[in-house]
Amino acid sequence: MRIFSLVSAIWRTCSLYQQSSDFSMITSQLLVYVAVLVLCVLKVSSRDTFIAAVYEHAVKLPNATLVPVSHEEALALMNQNLDLLEAAITSAANQGAHIIVTPEDGIYGWNFSRETIYPYLEDIPDPGVNWIPCNNPKRFGYTPVQERLSCLAKDNSIYIVANIGDKKPCNASDSQCPLDGRYQYNTDVVFDSQGKLVARYHKHNLFMGENQFNVPKKPEVVTFDTNFGRFGIFTCFDILFYDPAVTLVKDFHVDTIVFPTAWMNVLPHLSAIQFHSAWAMGMGVNFLASNIHHPSKRMTGSGIYAPDSPRAFHYDMKTKEGKLLLSQLDSYTHHRIMVNWTSYASSIKAFPTENQEFTGTAFFDEFTFLELTRVTGNYTVCQKKLCCHLSYKMSEKRTDEVYALGAFDGLHVVEGRYYLQICTLLKCKTAHVHTCGGAVETASTRFEMFSLSGTFGTQYVFPEVLLSETQLAPGEFQFLRVRMFWFKVSLKVVINLPSVVQSSQILLELKTLGLSFLLEVG
């Protein structure tokens, strides 16, 4: 606004010279000065780094009911959660945060039917309406939650990302209109530091059981620009699908993803901190993940992840309290480069082995495994078109722990339908190989080195390194993508030797997980 005021003032000065024969020359010179000034001011106002905050929220849940509560009762519960979020938002702002992300379902919880969620919904307008709810709360009807979020953003001069429910009326002229005459959407909203609504995203890939909400007619690709980079937004289960997650990075070139989620941890593949940090690295963007804290439902795991390493993360299955995380990030990330790669895994000849392959189940998918029987070795295991190559060296081969190299190449069809290709080195649940693939949280074996590569049929490959006690290896491994040729992608992951042998860093699982979006079914 100051820039445009200055431009106007200079232009008014120009008018004093309108009778002069040199008016054109003076005007052109002044406009050049103005252009240079604008560029300088924009450069100064653009931040090279910013402070991000995410809040893992111990949500207060509604009482189970088959009958909808009143709007007053619904608002009372939402205000209890907003009180907790307000404390986190204020604390983050006082510590210099520029943006804070809060979780999916963080304002009203879950276990709703289509009817019982209705009192919790508000009409959320398109951000193009240029609306600051804190200044004009009645403009779009009764919107107390949006008003409070807007005021929190404005009063604390911070961007706020929150998840609430949207309602949109429809009628018989719309052939897809639900019988109750309205659409209901799981919705993320973003308010800027002035309290203005700047983004609204309707979740597209609903998780099993989200019957209270409708799927938007087409995937929405939502971005918002700040002076600390371009942001994209999607929610929870969306992360496993091409739209909108990959599209935001590939086509809209966002620097940072904000990610409200209510994530239930599933070992060995989809622990929150494990997969979210891998997504940041695999896609080359910052990733701000805010999860619900509800250990009895395996919900924990929030983090601030840069493309090169996790900057802050929280995984806590023991306590009942929420957790605020803050960290500094680069505003502008260097996106993935798909050219000038060199071939690696596709040129490796299969390592010979005397070990016999066996099958095991991990998260309902049948893997082909090979047991690691020696303290050091080279192994290859294949399933369909995927071959996984492993080189490793243990500090010692323990008799009470079994590790296996596994491969899976197929369609996952349990809570959703998506095509997976996975190379994994994991600890088995017991010392018997028939338990390989079961959930494990602790380990004792130390690896001095390992390298894992695979011939993936997708360029979207995510490297996961999980240590004992479900902890990450922050920035202590390299992820080297190599050339894609006829849909054969080779990938190599190398663990940095000195950091791995520290006593607190003992390998639980190493994995490269590929999502083959072209092979999605349904």
Which residues carry out catalysis? 104, 203, 236
| ∠ Cα 386 392 393 (to 5°) | 165
Nearest to 399 by CA among 368, 365, 430, 362: 430
| ∠ Cα 250 253 254 (to 5°) | 115
Cis status of the peptide bond prior to 244, with omega within 30 of 0:
yes
Q: At what angle do helices 23-45 and 2-15 cross, to 10 degrees?
A: 170
| ∠ Cα 440 441 443 (to 5°) | 90
Question: Hey, how many other C-beta atoms are within 10 angstroms of the C-beta on 215?
Answer: 15
Distance in angstroms (rounded) separating the CA atoms of residues 391 and 423: 13
464 forms beta bridges with 511
Structural tokens at position 485? 């040729």
Question: Hey, how many other C-beta atoms are within 10 angstroms of the C-beta on 449?
Answer: 15
Distance of CA 147 to the CA centre of its chain: 26
Question: Hey, how many other C-beta atoms are within 10 angstroms of the C-beta on 356?
Answer: 8
DSSP string for 217-239: SS----EEEETTEEEEE--GGGG
For residue 263, the one-letter residue type is: W
User: In this structure, what are the phi and psi dihedrals at residue 201, rounded to the nearest 5 degrees?
Assistant: -130, 125
Distances in Å between the Cα of 369 and the Cα atoms of 349, 443, 510 are 18, 19, 14
Nearest to 444 by CA among 355, 508, 499, 350: 508
Distance in angstroms (rounded) separating the CA atoms of residues 54 and 40: 32
Structural tokens at position 315? 């995984």
Distances in Å between the Cα of 263 and the Cα atoms of 35, 56, 66, 206 are 48, 11, 25, 13
Residues 6+ apart with CB under 8 A from 92: 53, 55, 100, 156, 158, 324, 326
For residue 27, the one-letter residue type is: T
Distance in angstroms (rounded) separating the CA atoms of residues 500 and 447: 7
Query: Exposed, middle or buried by CB within 10 Å (0-12, 13-18, 19+), for 325?
Result: buried
Structural tokens at position 232? 């994209």
Q: In 17-121, where do the E strands start and end?
A: 49-56, 99-101
Please provide the distance, in angstroms rounded to a whole number, between the alpha carbons at the two ends of the chain. Answer: 48
User: In this structure, what are the phi and psi dihedrals at residue 142, rounded to the nearest 5 degrees?
Assistant: -85, 105
| CB-facing half-sphere around the CA of 328: CA atoms within 13 A | 5
